[in-house]
Amino acid sequence: MTSPRFPTITYMADTTAELADTNSSSPDDASTDEVVAPTMAHRVSGVIAAGVALGAAELLSGVFERIPSLVESVGQAVINLSPAPMVRFGISAFGTNDKPALAIGIVVISLLLGGMLGAATAKRRMVAPVALGAFALVGLAAAVYDTLTSGGWAIPACLAAVAAGTATLWWLLAAAELRASTDIPAAVAAEGRRRFVLGSAAGLGAAVAFPVIGRQLSNRFSVESARADVELATTAAPQAAAVAVAVDPASDIEGLSTLYTSNSSFYRIDTAFTTPQVDPATWTLKIEGAVDQEVEITFDELVSMATTEADVTLSCVSNRVGGGLVGNAQWLGVPLTDLLDEAGVQPEGNQIFSRSVDGWTCGFPTSLAYDGRSALVAVGMNGEPLPVAHGFPARLVIAGLYGYVSATKWLERITLTDWDSNDGYWIPRGWSKEGPIKTQARIDTASQRSGTDIVSVAGVAWAPTRGISKVELSFDQGPWVETELGPALSEETWRQWWYDWTGAIGSHEVRVRATDGTGAVQTSEVQQPAPNGATGNHEVQFSYNA
Ligand SMILES: Nc1nc2c(c(=O)[nH]1)N[C@H]1C(S)=C(S)[C@@H](COP(=O)(O)O)O[C@H]1N2
Ligand SMILES: [Mo]
């Protein structure tokens, strides 16, 4: 991409000069609009140039650790600046895929703008560097705003994007115009066509290869290898417990959630567009605020203290009735109260306010950490160091509280503070200050067992810290019938349940309700996730065909 303007066609120098003339005069002369009326080729050129511009920036961010990805910075800025209802919409529409959806959105919008840029640049060459420069400034502003990157390092990426995008666009437009000219010999038009096709193909190749290579290279900067070196206290792997219940019918009901959710299928919800890569060698956790003495602890110290295991079901407040933003894991960590006692909590420290490395915060009443529930600074999840997406090197796991008030990932600081003087990230964005998990039941499957006349209806139910004592189903608005229950790992985890139904051929519907350990039946009142968790009975349709 070195030739900035026209492909040189030596034997037709005159015509080329003439074309260049037409172009340079066109912006001030409305009557020449027809000559450069936007064509498909102009738009295609712009789309390809935009792709090359984005790709060049991504490539640089892969080569140099400090150069941020502009797409990531813009994505993070979109998340941070979006009004809360929009973020909520993103989570409810895309769930765990909200980040890929946002990244695709940013790229698609950039490419569409590129199409417009191609048309505008065909009329006036300087539009390309000016407009690309303006977009680069948006990227730069986003990078400066991004807490995880140092903004200045985005400048080389911005310059690369502007230069690569402008060069590509000018080159392709020149070829496109030559190709489309009417008053030149056919051979020249053919040459223009050839150049346009080859140039487009090369640009397209670069637009795809640059970011792919960049993303690939940037994997070098991940903390995956540091994570792989972590040696956790050897504990009974969760599989041991799972094996112990393998004799349960639950284990062979197809479609039923496993008792433990594997790390790879555990839902992921957070506001971090890029997973924070925290070097455990330099990371520390601070406990401060209303305490007798501040405590600062290294990762190695934390790991050596982490011998407490707890099976805890974690749920997102955004989970809709029947939704997948819930999972059960075996967590390994240090009881939060051990660390708090070391610091010495003072009476005014009635809120445990925590902060992650990327600035996300949340808080819950200090009394809850002391009421006997599992409350861990966790370093392990299902027998492995915390996956990076789930908070490596350390996170909070507090049984019975939705994640948005309690489960800080990439934990960096715990501040003991007054309940009223600090609000976590989601509180001013329309969510309740307190977030106890509501009793819920989900139907995972309602399907005919092959070769039988039985329809297996099965799922999970949870009411962490209260436990589940009963699950009931109602078929076709009929009376409630009790299901079988799987093992209760603890009162802080979900329980599997299942029921063998037989009945008339045709389509049916089934609703579920759970009763918690205190005897309280889950409410059938329908409530949306905001402001403090969805309620209502999950209901599905199924058909039985004999
Ligand atoms: N740093 C950080 N921690 C966070 C969040 C976040 O946005 N940033 N989201 C919370 C929310 S809303 C939930 S539901 C849980 C989800 O934890 P998981 O992604 O491990 O399932 O993390 C919590 N911890
Ligand atoms: Mo959440």
Is 392 touching ligand 1 by the criterion CB < 6 Å? Answer: no
| Cα radius of gyration rounded to whole Å, the chain | 29
- What single letter denotes the amino acid at residue 353? F
Nearest CA to ligand 1 atom 18: 268
Is 410 touching ligand 1 by the criterion CB < 6 Å? Answer: yes
Q: Is 365 helix (H, G, I), strand (E, B) or coil?
A: strand
Q: Which residue has the tokens 């350390």?
A: 394
Over residues 460-471, mean pLDDT = 98
Q: Distance, CA 386 to ligand 1 centroid (Å)?
A: 13
- The pLDDT of residue 21 is 38
Looking at the CA of residue 317, tell me the nearest atom of ligand 1.
14
In terms of pLDDT, which residue wins out, 192 or 491?
491
Looking at the CA of residue 271, tell me the nearest atom of ligand 1.
7
Is 267 touching ligand 1 by the criterion CB < 6 Å? Answer: yes
Query: Six-digit token pair at 212?
Result: 């792919």
Give per-residue pLDDT as tens, 343-377.
999 999 999 999 999 999 999 999 999 999 999 99
Using a 10 angstrom Cβ sphere, with 0-12 exposed, 13-18 middle and 19 or more buried, the burial of residue 504 is exposed
User: Of the ranges 75-79, 80-84, 239-243, 347-351, which one carries the lowest mean pLDDT score?
Assistant: 239-243
- The pLDDT of residue 33 is 40
Residue 420 reports pLDDT greater than 90:
yes
List the beta strands (DSSP E) in 279-398: 284-289, 295-298, 308-315, 326-335, 351-356, 361-365, 375-381, 384-385, 395-398
- The pLDDT of residue 236 is 52
Dihedral of the CA atoms 365, 366, 371, 372 (nearest 10)?
Answer: 120
**What's the CA gap between 546 and 502, in Å, rounded?**
10
What sign results for the dihedral spanned by CA atoms 46, 50, 53, 56?
negative
Over residues 69-87, mean pLDDT = 87
Looking at the CA of residue 426, tell me the nearest atom of ligand 1.
12
List the beta strands (DSSP E) in 388-434: 395-398, 411-417
- The pLDDT of residue 535 is 98
**Mutational test site, ligand 1, from 92, 147, 270, max ligand atoms within 8 Å of CB:** 270
Percent of the chain topping pLDDT 70: 90
Q: Are 441 and 522 in contact (CB under 8 A)?
A: yes
Residue 184 reports pLDDT greater than 90:
no
User: Of the ranges 29-33, 193-197, 472-476, 484-488, which one carries the lowest mean pLDDT score?
Assistant: 29-33
13 band by pLDDT with thresholds 50, 70 and 90:
very low
Nearest CA to ligand 1 atom 8: 270
Over residues 28-34, mean pLDDT = 39
Is 269 touching ligand 1 by the criterion CB < 6 Å? Answer: yes
Residue 281 reports pLDDT greater than 60:
yes
Q: Distance, CA 16 to ligand 2 centroid (Å)?
A: 61
Over residues 305-326, mean pLDDT = 96
Is 388 touching ligand 1 by the criterion CB < 6 Å? Answer: no
Number of Cβ atoms within 10 Å of the Cβ of 148: 20
What sign results for the dihedral spanned by CA atoms 21, 25, 30, 31?
negative
Q: Check residue 353 and give left, alpha or beta (phi > 0: left; psi -120 to 50: alpha).
A: beta
Q: Distance, CA 302 to ligand 1 centroid (Å)?
A: 21
**What's the CA gap between 354 and 360, in Å, rounded?**
8
**Mutational test site, ligand 1, from 352, 409, 427, max ligand atoms within 8 Å of CB:** 409
Is 328 touching ligand 1 by the criterion CB < 6 Å? Answer: no
Is 268 touching ligand 1 by the criterion CB < 6 Å? Answer: yes
Is 407 touching ligand 1 by the criterion CB < 6 Å? Answer: yes
Task: Report DSSP state, residue 279.
Answer: -
List the beta strands (DSSP E) in 219-323: 284-289, 295-298, 308-315
Average predicted confidence (pLDDT) for the chain: 89
- Indicate where the chain has its CATH 2.60.40.650 domain(s): 440-544
Residue 175 reports pLDDT greater than 60:
yes
Nearest alpha carbon to residue 178 among 355, 15, 379, 21: 15
Looking at the CA of residue 409, tell me the nearest atom of ligand 1.
3
Looking at the CA of residue 404, tell me the nearest atom of ligand 1.
12
Q: Distance, CA 87 to ligand 2 centroid (Å)?
A: 12
Dihedral pair phi/psi, residue 119, rounded to 5°: -65, -45
Please name which ligand lies nearest the alpha carbon of 529: 2
Q: Are 416 and 353 in contact (CB under 8 A)?
A: yes
Over residues 30-57, mean pLDDT = 80
Is 319 touching ligand 1 by the criterion CB < 6 Å? Answer: no
Nearest CA to ligand 1 atom 16: 269
Q: Are strands 539-544 and 506-516 parallel, antiparallel or unpaired?
A: antiparallel
Nearest alpha carbon to residue 179 among 209, 200, 204, 157: 200
Give per-residue pLDDT as tens, 204-253.
999 999 999 998 888 888 898 899 999 998 655 555 555 455 445 566 78
Query: Six-digit token pair at 9?
Result: 């066609």
Dihedral pair phi/psi, residue 447, rounded to 5°: -145, 150
**What's the CA gap between 109 and 103, in Å, rounded?**
10
Between helix 186-218 and helix 40-63 the angle, nearest 10°, is 30
Is 210 touching ligand 1 by the criterion CB < 6 Å? Answer: no
**What's the CA gap between 309 and 336, in Å, rounded?**
12
Is 266 touching ligand 1 by the criterion CB < 6 Å? Answer: yes
Q: Is 25 helix (H, G, I), strand (E, B) or coil?
A: helix
Between helix 154-180 and helix 98-123 the angle, nearest 10°, is 50
User: Of the ranges 12-21, 363-372, 416-425, which one carries the lowest mean pLDDT score?
Assistant: 12-21
Q: Could you tell me which residues come within 8 angstroms of residue 435 by beta carbon, excluding any fewer than 6 positions away?
A: 317, 364, 401, 402, 404, 405, 406, 532, 533
**What's the CA gap between 425 and 503, in Å, rounded?**
50
Does residue 100 have a cis peptide bond before it, meaning omega lies within 30 degrees of 0? no
Is 91 touching ligand 1 by the criterion CB < 6 Å? Answer: no
Q: In CATH terms, is domain 440-544 a member of 2.60.40.650?
A: yes
Q: In what order do the strands lie in the sheet with 468-475?
A: 480-482, 468-475, 506-516, 539-544
Using a 10 angstrom Cβ sphere, with 0-12 exposed, 13-18 middle and 19 or more buried, the burial of residue 96 is middle
Q: Which residues pair with 380 in a beta bridge?
A: 332, 385
- The pLDDT of residue 191 is 87
- Indicate where the chain has its CATH 3.90.420.10 domain(s): 239-429
Q: In what order do the strands lie in the sheet with 484-485?
A: 440-448, 455-462, 495-501, 484-485
Nearest CA to ligand 1 atom 13: 403
Is 354 touching ligand 1 by the criterion CB < 6 Å? Answer: no
- The pLDDT of residue 299 is 97
**What's the CA gap between 90 and 216, in Å, rounded?**
27
Rounded alpha-carbon distances, angstroms, from residue 47 to 53, 274, 280, 411: 10, 26, 42, 41
CATH architecture assignment, domain 239-429: Alpha-Beta Complex (3.90)
Q: Distance, CA 339 to ligand 2 centroid (Å)?
A: 25
**What's the CA gap between 441 and 522, in Å, rounded?**
9
Nearest alpha carbon to residue 318 among 89, 79, 82: 89
Is 273 touching ligand 1 by the criterion CB < 6 Å? Answer: no
**Mutational test site, ligand 1, from 82, 269, 406, max ligand atoms within 8 Å of CB:** 269
Taking a 5 Å cut-off on Cβ, the residues next to ion ligand 2 are 269, 316, 403-404
Is 409 touching ligand 1 by the criterion CB < 6 Å? Answer: yes
Looking at the CA of residue 358, tell me the nearest atom of ligand 1.
1
Q: Distance, CA 325 to ligand 2 centroid (Å)?
A: 8
Is 275 touching ligand 1 by the criterion CB < 6 Å? Answer: no
